[in-house]
Amino acid sequence: MRLFVALDLPQEVKVRLAAMAGGIPGVRWVPPENYHLTLRFIGEVPGHMAEEVDLALAHIRAKPFELSLAGLGTFEKGGRVQSLHVVAERTPGLAHLQAKIETALQRAGLPPERKKFAPHVTIARTDGAALPKLAGFVQAHNLFRTEPLTVEHFVLFSSRLGKEQAVYTPEVEYALAA
C-alpha cells in the first residue's frame, strides 16, 4: 500500500481553492477532491507495516488547533518549477502534531523523514507551464488567505497512481481531543 498522513480540508476551503485554478497553459490542476495538507509521506509499505502505522497513529494524543492558509508558493527541481501550492502557516499546533506523527512513525519502524516540514496544499503540477503566466498567477493570487479553521482530526490516506490523477482514499480518521 502507498500511504501518507494528511489533513483533509473543509469543503468551503476546497471550493475557494478550486475557484482560483485555471488560466496557465501547460499545468495539471489538482482536482478539488484531492486537495490535502500532507503531514508525512510514507510511501509503499507491506500490509503488516500498514497495520503498525495505523496502531502508532491511533496512539497519538494531540489537541485540536487552528490552521490558516496564506499566500502561494512553488517548488522547483533542477531549475524547473514543478508544483504550485497554497502555503499553510506553520503554527505551533500544526508543528506539534507533525512532530508527534514523525516520532510515532519512526518508533513503528519507518526511516526518518529527511525533508524539512513545509506545510502546503498543492494546487497544480506545473512541469511544462509557461513561466511568465505562472509568475503572473502567483502575483495575482498572493493575497489569498483563509480564516483560521479548526483542525479536529487527521487522516491516513492510501494513494493509487492513476493515468491522469492519483486517487486518494481516506483509510482511517484519527480524532484530536482537548
Hey, which residues are catalytic here? 36, 120
Site for ligand 2AM in 121-150 (CB under 6 A): 122
Smallest distance from ligand 2AM to CB 159, Å: 5
Nearest approach in angstroms of CB 161 to ligand 2AM is: 9
Is the CB of 125 or the CB of 145 nearer to ligand 2AM?
Answer: 125
Beta bridge partners of 6: 38, 155
Beta-carbon contacts of residue 37 (< 8 Å; ≥ 6 apart): 6, 7, 9, 67, 88, 119, 120, 121
Provide, rounded to whole angstroms, the least separation between the CB of residue 125 and ligand 2AM.
Answer: 8
Binders of ligand 2AM: how many residues, by CB under 6 A?
Answer: 6
- Selected binder of ligand 2AM within 4, 117, 144, 174 (CB under 6 A): 4
- Which of 12, 26, 33, 41 touches ligand 2AM (CB under 6 A)? 41
**Assigned C-alpha cell, 80:** 524547473
Contacts of 145 (CB under 8 A, 6+ apart): 68, 69, 70, 71
The secondary structure of 1-29 as a DSSP string is -EEEEEE---HHHHHHHHHH----TT-EE
Q: How far apart are CA 1 and CA 29, in angstroms?
A: 25
With binding defined as CB under 6 A, does residue 98 bind ligand 2AM? no
Give contact residues for ligand 2AM (rule: CB under 6 A).
4, 38, 41, 83, 122, 159
